[in-house]
């Protein structure tokens, strides 16, 4: 079989580009840094949205929508925020054929505009917590864009909440971190993320504390998969989000924000993909089982349709490929590229023996299965391969992570494509600055047992050091 994509071991970035093109996941947009998400990619994103949205709502947040355009003056109200985002802004200067009196920026994130409305809607402690989320596009002008991972425009959800106390805000930021993001990434994306705190240097612009989830890609680099921020009273003071507490005293609220984006789709592909293309975890797959008619023959199409109907009735997301005028080999390569978790091949010869062939994308195994056992076998295979993808990714992370004692060794390990765990007390902000100059970053701080520390000063805190996307 002809090579369809560059092997990962030859050139990982090229492999990624090839896979996005050949599997029809995404394409570059006409304006530099923008992207087109094609149906194959968007169907996975829709599954991700659905699973995330359920979890966000279960955490009590409500969806809303705030404007794309933000007055430039809003950004300037929070000093760190404007400093962080100014270099990345897209600015609209003309509207309706006229120059605007005040230029507006295309939202890079929505803390400012949502802060303005929170101030209008909050007056009493009874109005808190105020828990909002939106699904939206945002724009950050990228100097070195990379498809799906760092694009000028991307799709995301951004949560914004206001609370009466610092403690309540902190608990909510961590609830989102664990109950929404970590649970989603582990159970749906089959990714064993490391969950921790960002160092002061890596914090979101305007945050007092940033939590992160870091995934290891197929080349050993780290990808930040999502973040949850405590914003202290910074935005409440900048936008005057004030409430009267139970004693009737006016106080500034404590706010949080948290986001995850289409970058996760890139992470999913770079974590699980192989030299034949995508491997989509069954829970993230829009199509979990592809029933493929090998070639026309007596009763073949009817049998294939029956398999599809039975799988659908069992709750499996299934599609039927009956394009027998396209060569079977080409369709099989396409299905591998797109990463459908299982294929059920229905052809005249097997059918004569009462069988179909089950092909598992996880490991490429093919096995004949009796027609009347196919539903049970598929359901089992989907559950098993969801777990197998997770186990494989965890094994890679484990074998590719080293314990070191010094900042120098951490940087060396990272440059060698590994994740290094190093005591934060020896690394420190100074070691971090040195690492940064070498193109290596502290991805997050954790406790020795990989749980999230309450501060970076806790004894025993460990830094994960790695190269990243």
Tell me which residues in 363-422 interact with a second copy (CB under 8 A).
none
Residue 85 CB burial class (10 angstroms; 0-12, 13-18, ≥19): buried
Least distance from a second copy to the Cβ atom of residue 405, Å = 41
Query: What are the structure tokens assigned to 268, written together?
Result: 């999913």
Closest to a second copy by CB, 145 or 277 = 145
Least distance from a second copy to the Cβ atom of residue 330, Å = 12
The torsion angles phi and psi of 148, rounded to 5 degrees, stand at 75, -30
Under 8 Å between Cβ of 83 and 53: no
DSSP-derived secondary structure letter, 154:
E
Least distance from a second copy to the Cβ atom of residue 8, Å = 26
Closest to a second copy by CB, 35 or 346 = 35
- What distance in Å separates the CA atoms of residue 270 and residue 146, rounded to the nearest whole number? 13
Q: Does 46 bind a second copy (CB under 8 A)?
A: yes
- DSSP states of 185-233: HHHTS----EEEEPPGGGS-TT-SEEEEEEEE-TTS-EEEEEEEEE-TT
Q: Does 324 bind a second copy (CB under 8 A)?
A: no
Tell me which residues in 128-187 interact with a second copy (CB under 8 A).
132, 136-137, 139, 141-143, 152-153, 155
CA distances from 368 to 293, 344, 345 (A): 15, 9, 9
Least distance from a second copy to the Cβ atom of residue 196, Å = 30
Least distance from a second copy to the Cβ atom of residue 150, Å = 13
Q: Residue with structure tokens 């986001």?
A: 259
Query: What are the structure tokens assigned to 360, written together?
Result: 């598992």
Closest to a second copy by CB, 127 or 219 = 127
Q: Does 69 bind a second copy (CB under 8 A)?
A: yes
Q: Which stretch binds a second copy (CB under 8 A): 63-71, 172-180, 197-205, 244-252?
A: 63-71
Under 8 Å between Cβ of 196 and 441: no
Query: What are the structure tokens assigned to 115, written together?
Result: 């802060």
Q: At what angle do helices 263-272 and 374-399 cross, to 10 degrees?
A: 90
Closest to a second copy by CB, 34 or 468 = 34
Least distance from a second copy to the Cβ atom of residue 179, Å = 20
Q: Does 70 bind a second copy (CB under 8 A)?
A: yes
Among 74, 85, 172, 362, binds a second copy (CB under 8 A): 74
290 conformational bin, left if phi > 0, alpha if psi -120 to 50, beta if neither? beta
Among 1, 2, 3, 30, binds a second copy (CB under 8 A): 30
Q: Does 428 bind a second copy (CB under 8 A)?
A: no
Residue 324 CB burial class (10 angstroms; 0-12, 13-18, ≥19): middle
Q: Does 334 bind a second copy (CB under 8 A)?
A: no
How many residues are recorded in the chain?
469
Q: Does 248 bind a second copy (CB under 8 A)?
A: no
Closest to a second copy by CB, 222 or 316 = 316
Least distance from a second copy to the Cβ atom of residue 264, Å = 15
Tell me which residues in 84-123 interact with a second copy (CB under 8 A).
86-97, 103-104, 106, 113, 116-117, 120
462-466 and 209-216 strand pairing: unpaired
Binding site for a second copy (CB under 8 A): 27, 29-31, 34-39, 42-43, 45-46, 62-71, 74, 86-97, 103-104, 106, 113, 116-117, 120, 126, 132, 136-137, 139, 141-143, 152-153, 155, 326
């Amino acid at each position: 079989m002809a090579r369809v994509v560059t092997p990962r071991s030859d050139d990982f970035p090229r492999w990624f580009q090839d896979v996005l093109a050949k599997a029809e996941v995404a394409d570059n947009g006409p304006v530099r840094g923008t992207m087109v998400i094609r149906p194959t990619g968007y169907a996975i994103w829709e599954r991700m949205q659905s699973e995330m949205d359920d979890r966000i709502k279960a955490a009590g947040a409500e969806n809303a929508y705030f404007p794309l355009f933000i007055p430039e003056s809003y950004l300037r109200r929070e000093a760190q925020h404007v400093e962080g985002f100014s270099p990345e802004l897209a600015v609209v200067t003309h509207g309706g054929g006229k120059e605007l009196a005040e230029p507006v920026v295309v939202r890079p994130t929505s803390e400012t505009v949502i802060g303005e409305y929170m101030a209008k809607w909050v007056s009493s402690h009874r109005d808190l917590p105020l828990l909002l989320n939106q699904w939206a596009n945002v724009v950050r002008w990228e100097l070195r864009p990379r498809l799906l991972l760092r694009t000028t425009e991307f799709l995301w959800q951004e949560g914004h909440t206001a609370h009466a106390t610092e403690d309540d805000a902190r608990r909510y930021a961590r609830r989102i971190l664990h109950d929404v993001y970590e649970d989603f990434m582990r159970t749906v994306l089959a990714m064993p993320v490391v969950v921790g705190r960002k160092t002061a240097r890596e914090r979101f612009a305007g945050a007092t504390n940033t939590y992160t989830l870091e995934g290891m890609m197929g080349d050993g680099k780290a990808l930040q998969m999502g973040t949850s921020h405590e914003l202290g009273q910074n935005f409440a003071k900048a936008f005057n989000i004030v409430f009267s507490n139970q004693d009737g005293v006016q106080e500034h609220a404590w706010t949080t924000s948290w986001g995850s984006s289409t970058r996760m789709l890139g992470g999913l592909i770079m974590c699980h993909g192989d030299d034949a293309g995508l491997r989509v975890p069954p829970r993230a797959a829009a199509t979990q089982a592809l029933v493929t008619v090998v070639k026309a023959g007596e009763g073949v199409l009817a049998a294939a349709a029956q398999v599809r109907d039975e799988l659908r009735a069992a709750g499996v997301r299934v599609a039927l490929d009956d394009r027998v005028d396209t060569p079977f080999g080409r369709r099989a390569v396409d299905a591998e590229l797109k990463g459908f978790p299982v294929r059920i091949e229905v052809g005249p010869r097997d059918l004569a023996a009462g069988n179909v062939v089950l092909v598992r994308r996880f490991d490429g195994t093919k096995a004949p299965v009796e027609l009347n056992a196919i539903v049970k076998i598929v359901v089992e295979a989907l559950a098993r391969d969801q777990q197998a993808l997770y186990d494989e990714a965890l094994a890679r992370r484990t074998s590719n992570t080293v314990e070191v004692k010094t900042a120098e060794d951490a940087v060396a390990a990272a440059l060698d494509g590994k994740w290094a765990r190093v005591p934060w007390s020896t690394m420190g902000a100074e070691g971090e600055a040195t690492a940064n100059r070498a193109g290596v970053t502290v991805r997050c701080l954790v406790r020795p047992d990989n749980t999230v520390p309450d501060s970076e000063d806790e004894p025993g805190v460990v830094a994960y050091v790695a190269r990243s996307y």
